[in-house]
Chain A
């Protein structure tokens, strides 16, 4: 049975459903805080979507080599994280992965923090933030909720990325499962993000930016990171990396973990605690049986 002290709000954005859950707050105030967070998401979509003719990302796609453009602060911040994740994953995550289909090679680009500009160095900057934008939106929504003094929250983007703030009062975290509804693979999450990638909903849509070929992995991957932009990007990267390279990538992203499931076997990579495997039926029982994945 659902906890009545947790208020749940839904909103459509970025071609999926966003959800805000707020604990420990009066419902009307929580609703207004959630709306402020959703309004921010709508703004982010207008700045980050490649499907919006006038977005920053669409404008950047018009740059010729050598040209640069000032973009909004959120667009710049998201591109900065995207670049960092591309480097950290050795190109397994890339916002120009699909460009290999339309261009002879990967485009190249630079960021200039002093004037919040993006410069096209080579090719056409056909950025697709589909594997990081929703996570980035969750990170920014969390800032809004903290600003509203609603620290106990869980944010969900399309069921594939979640970002937890403080847990509901009297609990150690938000109960998160890996996989389909009521997954037995669960842990407690607070102040961190979990993202999943897979082929069950959209088929083989993930492209390996290093080869232009569809992702090698045919089942699912999950990533646990301090921020949702990172977990979103890392779970996508884990779909194209082999196991040895997942371990290598996590040497630099040492506050993240990755889980892979090939249909039979579960494997965990990275420094996080191993998740529990018991299947308790109540919160109290869960707490007894689960190990906890929390961020300081």
Chain B
């Protein structure tokens, strides 16, 4: 008998089913109710860059969502967006900035913010104050104060603010955490985590010559020049560098899965490779998490190397099992230690799947049967989902707007997680261990 491993709340929250190899039908809405005219929500997308276009593809697939406006300060991106959407049969109004957007759109319900980090707080705060619910990409802000202001505005306005740590709505992550790590304690006592996002050397982003913005327009929006505009992630007053852009994905999972922020961080890093950047291109970080059973340490690295650098994952290690999680299912792996209690019960429940059968259990220690050498058992997590990777998190946001779900990553929880990412950058600059109190991670 296969059980439904996700609870109803988890199911609603993620709009994804799980089970022994069960996949959610593509494009399905969890309640099947959003196709009604009254269920349509008018949405604007602020920022038509790389991430905005990723979110756009999910938005276009979701029932009950009507994209009515896009906004980008770069005419080149804005025009591209208008043309692309027109080709897709989606008529939108295009605005240069969020003030024009809020002035021009009178029937908006939600805004998806995917512009450079240093604009997140002003835009999100203005949208919340205008009575709109907001889905804002991570990081919340390039500064702790910016992020804190977003939490405060969320509380003052009572509007929803979801932060785009999309793994928090990934059904494989939710299932593995709730059913395997917490309920079944499949890893035993958690002792360590190891994570990374290493990547190959790349050129800085350029721009077609004809598409350069005039200097005064760049200055108006806070950029020194086109290079800074196109490569904002590398500049200290605009973004947070690789530890923030990439590290946020894994370090957020540490905080979520360990269920607390760390008590300290030490780190080493530098501007070792790119000479025209301000943020560290290589970094190694160690956090200490004071878990009830004892300290667990979590290592994180983001390196400028080759495409053979191992990709991105979060590897949780206990004394009875280890679980390598990744948004890339091909990198996900589950290992059982020989001393661990049998996992056969979990296999029977459909919580994990045996890829190969191991040695038979030992029901009677006084008896033994002899045959050919048995293989070591291998296991996998049976949960898959067939949507674009950001879609469940966006669906969670819109289901929360409909009153049918709780946000999987509300701004106050995201703040706690992102605070310790800012502290890792700070530890590199200070070249010393920084202690973190639980209180300071709360907005």
Give me the interface of A with B, judged by CB distance under 8 Å. 12, 29, 31-36, 39, 47, 51, 53-54, 58-64, 67, 69-70, 72-73, 114-116, 147-149
Contacts and interface: CB of A to CB of B under 8 A. Distances in A.
A62 B25 CA distance: 6
Contact of A69 (B50, B61, B203, B329): B61
A29 B88 contact: no
A197 B358 CA distance: 43
Given A54-B385, A54-B387, A60 B26 contact: yes
Contacts, number: 69
Interface string B47-72: 00010000001001100000000000
Contacts of B387: 54, 59
A62 B24 CA distance: 9
Contacts of B375: none
A147 B208 contact: yes
Nearest to A59: B26
B384 interface: yes
8 contacts: A33-B208, A35-B206, A53-B384, A61-B386, A70-B60, A116-B88, A148-B208, A148-B209
Given A53-B386, A54-B388, A149 B209 contact: yes
A46 to B, nearest CB: 9
Contacts of A63: 25-26
> Which of A12, A35, A47, A54 has the most B CB atoms < 10 Å from its CB?
A54
Interface in B172-223: 202-210
B333 interface: no
Most B C-beta atoms less than 10 A away, residue of A31, A39, A70: A70
B26 A29 contact: no
B89 A116 contact: yes
Interface of B: 23, 25-27, 50, 57, 60-61, 84, 87-89, 202-210, 307, 329-330, 384-389
A12 B49 CA distance: 23
B26 A31 contact: no
B386 A58 contact: yes
B206 to A, nearest CB: 3
Contacts of A60: 26
A114 B89 contact: yes
Contacts of B50: 39
A69 B29 CA distance: 12
A12 B386 CA distance: 25
B25 A64 contact: yes
A73 B88 contact: yes
B60 to A, nearest CB: 6
Contacts of A61: 386
A220 to B, nearest CB: 30
Given A31-B203, A63-B26, 8 more contacts: A32-B206, A33-B206, A35-B206, A62-B25, A67-B26, A69-B26, A147-B208, A148-B208
Contact of A62 (B23, B204, B210, B330): B23
Contacts of A59: 26-27, 386-388
B25 A115 contact: no
A114 B87 CA distance: 10
B371 to A, nearest CB: 34
Contacts of A47: 57
A186 B26 CA distance: 47
What 6 A-B pairs have minimum CB-CB distances, sorted nearest first? A32-B206, A59-B26, A35-B203, A148-B208, A62-B386, A59-B386
Nearest to A75: B57
Given A12-B307, A54-B386, A62-B386, A69 B27 contact: yes
A257 to B, nearest CB: 31
Contact of A36 (B57, B206, B384): B206
B34 to A, nearest CB: 14
A231 B209 CA distance: 32
Contacts of A70: 27, 60-61
Given A53-B329, A62-B25, A115-B89, A32 B205 contact: yes
Nearest to A115: B89
B59 to A, nearest CB: 11
A72 B57 contact: yes
Contacts of B61: 69-70
Given A114-B89, A115-B89, A54 B389 contact: yes
Contacts of B203: 31-32, 34-35
B25 A67 contact: yes
A148 B25 CA distance: 40
A149 B206 CA distance: 13
Nearest to A35: B203
Contacts of A73: 84, 87-88
Contacts of A12: 307
A258 B307 CA distance: 37
B26 A149 contact: no
A112 to B, nearest CB: 10
Contacts of A53: 329, 384-386
A54 to B, nearest CB: 5
Given A63-B26, A64-B25, A69-B27, A29 B206 contact: yes
Nearest to A61: B386
A147 B211 CA distance: 10
A147 B26 CA distance: 34
Which one of B88, B203, B207 has the greatest number of beta carbons of chain A within 10 Å?
B203
Nearest to B28: A67
Contact of B202 (A35, A58, A72, A116): A35
Contacts of B88: 73, 116
Contacts of B205: 32, 35-36
A51 B27 CA distance: 19
Nearest to B63: A70
Nearest to B329: A53
Nearest to A63: B26
A174 to B, nearest CB: 23
Contacts of B329: 53
B90 to A, nearest CB: 10
Contacts of A114: 89
Nearest to B62: A70
A29 B329 CA distance: 36
A144 to B, nearest CB: 9
B389 A62 contact: no
Contacts of B87: 73
A59 to B, nearest CB: 4
Contacts of B26: 59-60, 62-63, 67, 69
A57 B26 CA distance: 11
A114 B23 CA distance: 28
B225 to A, nearest CB: 14
